[in-house]
Amino acid sequence: MCGIIGISSNKSVSANIINSLKKLEYRGYDSAGIATLSDGFINEVKSEGRVENLEKNFDLKRLHVKAFARDGLSLSGLQPLAFFERLADLATTQTASNAESIQVQWAISGEIAPVVGGEAQIFLHLKASVCLPMQCQRCLGPVQLDVLSEQTFRFVADEATAEAEDDESEEDLLVLVPDFDVWELIEDELIMSAPIVPKHPVCPTSVPMSVSDESFEAALAERPNPFAALAQLKKKPH
């Protein structure tokens, strides 16, 4: 049988609805859905199976940030490195084929919070990390590097506002759009956090500081010393 829950409130209700749906799982868990109305916009999420799948099924490619922040929601999960094509390109060629097994860990949360001397603003908190296989630019061997990004973003109405407030803002500013691509944001932040020159803290093998060529050294030894004649002149009595 179906179970329906409705809450009318001027506060965040999504967490309460999801918790209530979990209490109805004894009826069965074929599928579940949730719809919230915020500022005239209906944010709808549906998922098959248990309610916990519903929590993970927000469309992060077209996220309504304002509704997400208004409801104080948070999401986290794992995504294969291969999903982020530009980030996967930073990995070494040998491991690029195994990009499905490398996981990007991510978490986002939203809130609407007051700022000093102004109105409440929309904030999105992001944390993402991945262990990225790269090539050490010192010893040219493989190196596993932990790439981490932890940022807070404040959303503003337009590009003009972002440009005007950018210098004095403690947070990174983003323009509020109806469908915000969180996946692209995660990828951009990890790419910017990756080292430009990847290298070991201490290389596992010694790094040659010069290159020697035995044939060149032998040929150089056979060449007559141009200063030998001067040395002979110095030995002659005046």
- Tokens representing 143? 């190196």
Q: Which of 94, 164, 165, 87 is nearest to 129 (CA)?
A: 87
Higher pLDDT, 48 or 150: 150
SS3 at position 176: coil
Domain co-membership, 113 together with 84: yes
**Distance set, CA 16 to CA 19, 32, 212, 232 (Å):** 5, 14, 71, 100
To the nearest whole number, what is the mean pLDDT of the chain?
Answer: 81
- Tokens representing 26? 């004894």
Residue 94 falls within a domain, yes or no?
Answer: yes
- pLDDT of amino acid 173: 94
Domain co-membership, 88 together with 13: no
pLDDT (tens digit, 9 = 90+) per residue, 111-149? 999 877 778 999 999 999 999 999 999 898 999 999 999
| Entry field: residues in the chain | 238
Q: Burial, 187: exposed, middle or buried (Cβ in 10 Å; 0-12, 13-18, 19+)? A: buried
Domain co-membership, 38 together with 136: no
Residue 234 falls within a domain, yes or no?
Answer: no
E-strand stretches of 55-171:
74-80, 103-114, 120-135, 142-156
Domain co-membership, 12 together with 105: no
Residue 226 falls within a domain, yes or no?
Answer: no
Number of structural domains in the chain: 2
Domain co-membership, 29 together with 112: no
With tokens 């209490």, the residue in question is 23
Domain co-membership, 83 together with 182: yes
Domain co-membership, 171 together with 68: yes
Domain that holds residue 47: 1-57
- Name, in order, each residue with C-beta under 8 angstroms of 134's C-beta and a sequence gap of 6 or more: 90, 91, 92, 142, 143, 144, 145, 194, 195, 198
pLDDT (tens digit, 9 = 90+) per residue, 143-189? 999 999 999 999 999 999 889 988 888 889 999 998 899 999 999 99
Domain co-membership, 71 together with 46: no
Residue 133 falls within a domain, yes or no?
Answer: yes
% of the chain with per-residue pLDDT over 90: 33
Q: Which of 4, 50, 10 is nearest to 26 (CA)?
A: 50
Domain co-membership, 183 together with 72: yes
Query: Which pTM value belongs to this model?
Result: 0.67
Burial profile 158-174: b = 16 or more Cβ within 10 angstroms, e = fewer: eeeebeeeeeeeebebb
